[in-house]
Amino acid sequence: MPLSFPYPLVIFDLDGTLVDSAPDIAEAVNRTLTDWKLRTFDLAQITNWIGEGSRQLITYAMRAAGSDADIDAVMPGFLKHYGDTALDGQLYPGVADTLAALHGQGVRLAVCTNKPEQFVRPLLEARGVLGLFDGIVGGDTLAQRKPAPEPLWHLARQFGVEPGKSLMVGDSESDALAAHNAGVPLVLLRYGYRKQYDLDAAGAVAVLDTFPELLALR
């Protein structure tokens, strides 16, 4: 099938874009807080901390719970709980079929997430979509992570596509800033973990209500 989608490379955020993982991340956070005999938090609060990587996430939680513990001492336990829950996240409606449709058109697909790389492939495999992706950058794959531009540049170079002809699809300020910093066009999704970020003022090519609307871009 000839390529009709306007971008030969699409780079997707993971949490809040492809996968609804907040309940599982929240479980890992609360298990960690319980280990340290600290108060736990509800899903809405923990969701508000997602998007800047696992270390920053647990830092927010520990500090909010009143602890000044060394985060280096907290991380091993948190990553154990994170690993125990990491495969539970579910794809948002229409994600699998839309990814398959793009892949069928010859579009190269990649993931750029601040989630540690060790958790990315197993989750995509568990949801049956790993084989659709040609590249993956996690939060610890490179020295930089979103909102820095380097992860997007890395993927664009990997596929020989100019940044300006690639597309970043995400749901948060971190995704938007990474795209703008890298000179990559941006699409944002309303259903993700946007916190208080104004999606409509982010300079995106489009702001979509559902994932399958991506196929209508021209």
Query: What gap in Å lies between CA 137 and CA 80, rounded to an integer?
Result: 21
Q: Which helix (H) or strand (E) holds 8?
A: none
> What was the pLDDT predicted at 188?
98
Query: What gap in Å lies between CA 190 and CA 65, rounded to an integer?
Result: 29
pTM of full prediction above 0.85: yes
Mean pLDDT of residues grouped by 10 in the chain (218 residues)?
A: 82 97 96 98 96 94 98 97 92 98 97 95 96 97 97 98 98 97 98 94 98 96
Q: Which strand ranges, in their side-by-side order, compose the sheet holding 166-170?
A: 135-137, 108-112, 9-12, 166-170, 186-189, 206-208
DSSP state of 200: G
> What was the pLDDT predicted at 1?
42
User: Token pair of 53, please?
Assistant: 């990587």
Query: What gap in Å lies between CA 212 and CA 87, rounded to an integer?
Result: 23
> What was the pLDDT predicted at 73?
98
Residue numbers annotated as active site: 13
Query: What gap in Å lies between CA 2 and CA 164, rounded to an integer?
Result: 21
The H helix count followed by the E strand count for the chain is 8, 8
Strand partners for 12: 111, 169
